Amino acid sequence: MSAIVVILALVAALGAGALSGLRIGKDALGAELAAYMGALYGGLAGGGAVVVTTLVLLLI
């Protein structure tokens, strides 16, 4: 069960990053590049947070 939640959280981090990148950088970079970059950084930051939070919750 927790593996499914981790995967869903990682997908949510990618999606949120892509939407954020679109909103912030669409005019400067173009929509496609802004979405790709947002997904990359959202996945990196959100993915790390998801893994650390899951480990902490498993230890409690």
Q: Is 29 exposed, middle or buried (0-12, 13-18, 19+ CB in 10 A)?
A: middle
SS3 content of the chain, % helix, strand, coil (to 5): 95, 0, 5
The string of pLDDT tens digits covering residues 2-58 is: 789 888 988 999 999 999 999 999 888 899 999 999 999 988 988 888 889 888 988
What tokens does 58 get? 């498993």
In the chain, the number of structural domains is 1
Give the per-residue pLDDT at 47. Answer: 83
Q: What is the predicted pLDDT for the residue at 1?
A: 64
Residues whose CB falls within 8 Å of the CB of residue 45, separated by 6 or more in sequence, listed in order? 13, 17
- Give CA–CA dist 48/37, Å, rounded: 17
Note whether 24 and 38 are within 8 A (CB).
yes
Range of the domain at 33: 2-59
pTM of this structure? 0.78
